[in-house]
Structures are given as structure tokens and as C-alpha cells.
Structure 1
Amino acid sequence: MAEVKRELSVPPDVEANGGTEILRLFISGGAMSLSMQRAFAEPEAWGRLLAELAQQASAIFERETAMSAADAIAEIRIALDAALDHIESGLRPKN
């Protein structure tokens, strides 16, 4: 049986002022499924976006679990660094 699709609400400022959706991410069957579009002129803006996501995720962990936001950020950083190292190793030219 298929899972029910659950979507988040549009943020109030976007409801009031409009905006462009740049990322849609779902967990389906235990895996991430996403669609996205380039929204920034420079790639470093994506770094700032990832940092904002980490900050908001750490706040959720602090609010909903016994973990502090600082501990959550530390764990997120370790996992992000490892994942980026893995990705980067696949992008290096083979000699």
C-alpha cells in the first residue's frame, strides 16, 4: 500500500508576498526524492542555504528530542563533511 503524500504549508511571508520554490524534497520508501532548480548566480549561495537548513534542523532536534542544537549541528557537520568528501572523490579526474 502506498504512503499518503504529506506536504508542508507554504511559509506565511511567501503566501503574502509570493516567491519561487527552488527545492522540493520527500522521503519515499525510506529514500530521498527531490526536484530542484538553480536559483542563485553563484554556487556559494547553496553553501549558505545548506547552513540555514542545518541550523533549522538542529533547532528541531533541540525542540523535539533530548539533543542540544550544538550537538545536532556537530553531528550534521560530520555527516555533511563525510558525504561531500565521498562526492568530491568521485568528481576527481582519474589518472
Structure 2
Amino acid sequence: MTELKRELSIPPDVESNGGTEILRLFISGGALSLSMQRAFAEPEAWGRLLAQLASQAADLYARETELSAPEALADIRIAIDAALDQIESGLSPLN
């Protein structure tokens, strides 16, 4: 049986001011599925984007679970470091 596609709404500031979508992520069949385009001149900007994403994810966990934002961010940082180590070793970070 096929799972229904669930999409997030477009942020209000993008609705009113426009913008360019650079990343779309889904979990499908238990695996990550994504499409993306290069949006920055330098790859370091992706690092800043990923850090901001981690911060917002930590805030979300703080609002919806018993974890504090700093605790969630620390857990996210540990997982990122471990996943990057796996990638550098030639392994899939989702294993």
C-alpha cells in the first residue's frame, strides 16, 4: 500500500516575497529521498545552512519533547559528526 505524500506549507515570507526552493526532503519507505540545487557560490554556506537547520530542529524538539534545545542540539551534533565519519569511511550514514 502506498503512503500518502505529506508536504509542508510554504513559509509566509516566501508566499509574500517569493524565493527559490533549494532543498526538498522526504522520508519514503524508511529512506531519505531528496532533490536539491546548488544555491551558494561557496560550499561553506551549506555548512552555515546545516548549522541553522540543526538549531531549528533542536528548538522543535524542545517545544515537542522533554529535551531542552541545548540537549537536542548536542545530540544532533554528535550524530552529525558520526555520520560524517561514516561518509569519510565510505559507509552510508543511515546504517
Three-state SS of the structure 1 residue aligned to 2:40 is coil
Three-state SS of the structure 2 residue aligned to 1:10 is coil
TM-aligned CA deviation for residue 87 of structure 1: 1.4
For normalisation by structure 1, the TM-score amounts to 0.91
Letter paired with 1:34: L
For the aligned residue pairs, the C-alpha RMSD in angstroms reads 0.8
Three-state SS of the structure 2 residue aligned to 1:35 is strand
Instruction: Give the greater-gyration-radius structure (CA).
Output: 1
**How is 1:31-70 mapped onto 2 (pairs within 5 angstroms)?**
31-70=31-70
Aligned residues: 90
TM-aligned CA deviation for residue 30 of structure 1: 1.1
Distance, in Å, in 2 between the alignment partners of 1:68 and 1:31 is: 27
TM-aligned CA deviation for residue 42 of structure 1: 0.2
Which aligned segments of 4 or more residues in structure 1 are displaced greater than 4 angstroms? none
Residue 74 of structure 2 is aligned to residue 74 of structure 1: yes
Three-state SS of the structure 1 residue aligned to 2:89 is helix
For normalisation by structure 2, the TM-score amounts to 0.91
Distance, in Å, in 2 between the alignment partners of 1:47 and 1:89 is: 20
Match of residue 83 from structure 1: 83
Distance, in Å, in 2 between the alignment partners of 1:3 and 1:88 is: 33
TM-aligned CA deviation for residue 56 of structure 1: 0.6
**How is 1:10-49 mapped onto 2 (pairs within 5 angstroms)?**
10-49=10-49
Letter paired with 2:45: A
Distance, in Å, in 2 between the alignment partners of 1:74 and 1:34 is: 25
